[in-house]
Structure 1
Amino acid sequence: MELPERQGRMTTSSRIYDILRQDLVNGRFEAGEKVAISALRERYDVGLSPLREALNRLAAYGLLIQENQRGFRVPRLERRELEDVASLRRELEGMALERAILLGDAEWESELLAAAHRLKRADMAGRGEEWERLHVRFHRTLVAPCGSIWLLRFIEQLHDQFDRYRRLAPEAPEVRRVLDAQHDELVRLALERDGGAARQLMDDHIHRSYEVALCGIKA
């Protein structure tokens, strides 16, 4: 049985991990920026031990780089990395989608329709943090019944890496309209159990989003 002190530290570490993870994905730290632990302690009002645990987890996850005896740094934005992430997203997310369409039940269909509806309503209210949150939920719901916990973990990690680039990219309204329409089409194909067509559309969806995200890399 864990001691109450350790349980409390782990709870704090998990909370800070989640907050920092979102801040890193949302671009609230500059790419390549050195992360000062003293500044983070003050900014997030957290003790040194749980903060270091959270930073070590984020480094293992790939959202921070741990430098020997020099602390932590935010990864730079590089075209080569984005291409790699997008390529893996197309491969793994396409695979997961086909499996989800094969294995998903009526409850999944209801959850998918609800996720798509919430995303569309959020879009009407403006593309803020709520839309981003619901956009992540929609994509997670789409592949949720794929039957592989590890596949879902890899996809989630790739999404976070991809979104570091996408959220810094300039607005592209025309492409955005196409991507939004593809969300609806993905739902339709999933409900029709057309795994092959859905995978092809997902491949195109990720590629279009990649082209937008590419504009977020500074020359």
Structure 2
Amino acid sequence: MNKPIQLSSTKASRSIYDVLRRDLVGGRFKAGEKLAINTLKEQYQVGLSPLREALNKLAAYGLLIQENQRGFRVPKLSREELDDIARLRTELEGMALERAIAHGDAVWEADLLAAAHRLKRADITLDKGEEWERLHTQFHRTLVAPCGSVWLLRFIEQLHDQFDRYRRLGPKMPTIRQELDEQHHELVELALQRDATAARALMDDHIHKSYEVALARYQQHA
């Protein structure tokens, strides 16, 4: 049985949003599952008002479906959606990376090296758990951070969350996972060299390899 998650009253709304978002992306709830609000209140030890606020925000964000007078449901998965998400990730993240390489300064370079180092340490010390996922997300955010468009970064973050609903299903694929880990460090090298063309080509391949992982896991659950 899932243990209750304690939340402070002063930050309840934001906290429950963050925790639910993590759990929805991480697969704690099944695709198509209807969420019972009373059950969520007990599991997360949170009041009705902040819970409903968080659920409404998650529905607007696309991680939940709000049904008229019937509560909330986890979106179903589909091959068509996965293909669309991967295609958009390739286009938008590649664009953001090119812009980041053009505009990134010395502070960005230092932040990128630090993010890559933390992720590499996680590769060694962690078994691809929640902490690794957090550092992985942080690395990709840092890589495109100076792209100069808040909206572009928002769209990319939303696409990452939707993509990860597929990628994080089921058994792991160690061979491809190792290739992806190596590409993280290659992306850093190309970014520091300011080779935007090669970096974007590598990012395209990186997303395609991740797509292969996501597709294989989706097919196992379809």
What TM-score bracket applies, with the shorter chain setting the length?
over 0.9
SS in 1 for 2:217: coil
Instruction: Determine if the alignment matches structure 1 residue 64 to structure 2 residue 64.
Output: yes
TM-score (norm. length: structure 1): 0.94
Equivalence for 1:208: 209
Q: Distance in 1 between matches of 2:35 and 2:10?
A: 21
Equivalence for 2:5: none
Q: Deviations over 1:14-34 (max 9, x none)?
A: 111011000101100011100
Q: Distance in 1 between matches of 2:86 and 2:100?
A: 20
Per-residue deviation, 1:128? 1.3
Equivalence for 1:82: 82
Q: Distance in 2 between matches of 1:180 and 1:117?
A: 12
Q: Distance in 1 between matches of 2:171 and 2:142?
A: 27
Q: Distance in 1 between matches of 2:55 and 2:88?
A: 25
Equivalence for 2:4: none
Instruction: Determine if the alignment matches structure 1 residue 35 to structure 2 residue 35.
Output: yes
Q: Distance in 2 between matches of 1:210 and 1:184?
A: 19
Letter in 2 for 1:193: R
SS in 2 for 1:60: helix
Equivalence for 1:5: none
Per-residue deviation, 1:11? 3.3
- Structure 1's unaligned 5+ residue stretches are 1-7
Per-residue deviation, 1:49? 1.1
TM-score (norm. length: structure 2): 0.93
SS in 2 for 1:215: helix
- Structure 2's unaligned 5+ residue stretches are 1-7
* Deviates further, 170-179 or 15-24: 170-179
Equivalence for 1:91: 91
Q: CA RMSD in A?
A: 1.3
Letter in 1 for 2:158: Q
Equivalence for 1:193: 194
CA contact (8 A) 1:170 1:215 kept: no
In structure 2, relative to structure 1, the CA distance for the partners of 1:157 and 1:214 (3 Å cut) is same
CA contact (8 A) 1:166 1:210 kept: yes
Instruction: Determine if the alignment matches structure 1 residue 170 to structure 2 residue 152.
Output: no
SS in 2 for 1:216: helix
Per-residue deviation, 1:47? 1.2
Q: Distance in 2 between matches of 1:169 and 1:190?
A: 32
Letter in 2 for 1:192: Q
Equivalence for 2:130: 129
